[in-house]
Amino acid sequence: MFLKLLSFVIAALMTFSFASPSVWALGQKPPKETVQTIEEPKIMYRTLLDCYELALKRSETVAISKEAIEETEAEFLKAAGEFIGDADYKIASFRQDPLSTAEGGGGTGISSNFFKTHRRERKWVFTQPLFQGFKSFAAIAAAGGLRKQRKAEEIRAEQLLFTDVALAFYNVLRQKRDLEIVEGIIKSYQERIEELTEREKIGRSRESELAKAISQMKSIESELAKVRGLFAIAQHVLGFLTGIEIKPEELKDTDLPDERILELLDYVQASENRSDVNAAKQAVKIARQGIISAQSELWPELALDSNVYNQRDGSQFNVDWDVLFTLNFPLGKGGTTLGNLKQAVSVWKQAKQTYSLTQRQALLDIQESYENWIASSHQTKALEEAREASQNSFDLQKAEYDNNLVSNLDVLDALNELYDTSRKANDVHYQMKENYWKLKVSIGEVP
């Protein structure tokens, strides 16, 4: 009985000795261990529109266009100021050497006021052109038209910037995919070479077949270096436009808007609404105002000058105001006026020709963009089907080669066909997207 009791006490002591110190001291359960998970950094994806927004903030061309608009507002204020006239407040203090009595300095009345040693004058001076042969009206109209022209040019600059960004954006994606295709084909060649090497060892393949495969792979490896260079250049161009370095994996391609393809005539009708056409149209109106301004030099000018005096010393100290009307008849300036008029007419005619050329170029741009988009859309569909057929052909050739039904040359030909078709399909796919946005820009539509 004693031995059983002793063994029970020893067992209890051993149980408490192996218990956790925190449990023994505090009588609490030990805290559960927490597992910390490390989250992978999220990639900030950038779409085409994101890159365009960055390019708008960075573009010097767009910034110059905005400043040109500010400049036209200054021209409008100058023209308006010419029409409104001038207002000045003048303070004059006249001093002269006093004359002696013998020289007439001691006279009275008008003479004494004339020879005063100090005369002061304070007055408001108003100058108002009443008629300048419509020169001021022409200047104001021309300044307003110039602002509209500069605004239209700014819009066109933003649209052309979008085209540049779209080309750079899709070029990065195109070169990235092209690089993946070339690397994938090289990997397929390496697998073929390994298989041919093993088959050559057991006498199931000729040495010439292995040499042929190695030769073709080396040729494609040289193309790989070129593709890598083009890929790097494409990234630099996109970085130049956006102002920041964007990694290729950050670019997110999106599907084109699902919209019905309209007839060419529907797009052609939008040519008149293009911003560059509107800018050329405004230039014609501005040149027409230039003719009116030049003709104004042949008209007489009527001006009003008035003074309102606050303080006046001398013989006219009681005169508070005066008004002067001036009528000027231009009789001749040595041919300058007629020369300016002839030059203005020439500028107007040039502006009309430029407007006509801009209209025709806009029409041609729309026609080319439309046909390129339609052609690339059909070509993309056909090449994608061709790529799938080439992939299927290559898989079948490999399977038949394993069964000794075809030669290795047939497999290499199928692989080369897959290589060429895949690259062409990739190139046309992104070309189709570029052509879509070119069409949108050609009709003056930018998202």
pLDDT in tens, 411-426: 888 888 999 999 999 9
Beta pairing class for 301-312 and 118-131: antiparallel
Per-residue pLDDT tens digits for 38-51:
555 566 788 999 99
Domains and CATH numbers, the chain: 48-442 (1.20.1600.10)
Q: What is the pLDDT of residue 365?
A: 92
Task: Give the tokens for residue 413.
Answer: 């030909």
Q: How far apart are CA 13 and CA 432, in angstroms?
A: 83
Task: Give the tokens for residue 403.
Answer: 């069964």
Residue 93 has pLDDT above 80, yes or no: no
CA dihedral angle for residue 59, residue 63, residue 64, residue 67, rounded to 10 degrees:
180
Half-sphere exposure of 359 (CA within 13 A, CB side): 9
Q: Residue range 54-80: average pLDDT?
A: 72
Would you say 386 and 314 are in contact if contact means Cβ atoms under 8 Å apart?
A: no
Q: What is the pLDDT of residue 27?
A: 45
Q: Which range (122-131, 161-170, 288-297, 316-325) has the least confidence?
A: 122-131
What's the pLDDT band for 26 if we cut at 50, 70, 90?
A: very low
Sign of the C-alpha dihedral computed for residues 94, 99, 105 and 111 taken in this order: negative
Q: Which of 377, 350, 357 is nearest to 290 (CA)?
A: 350
Neighbour tally for 393: CB within 10 Å = 18
Residue 330 has pLDDT above 90, yes or no: no
pTM: 0.71
Bigger pLDDT: 249 vs 13: 249
Sign of the C-alpha dihedral computed for residues 354, 360, 366 and 371 taken in this order: negative
Q: DSSP label at 328?
A: E
Spatial neighbors of 138 by CB under 8 A, at least 6 apart, are: 289, 290, 292, 293, 296
Per-residue pLDDT tens digits for 156-198:
888 999 999 999 999 999 999 999 999 999 998 888 888 878 7
| Burial of residue 242, with CB atoms counted within 10 A of its CB: 0-12 exposed, 13-18 middle, 19 or more buried | buried
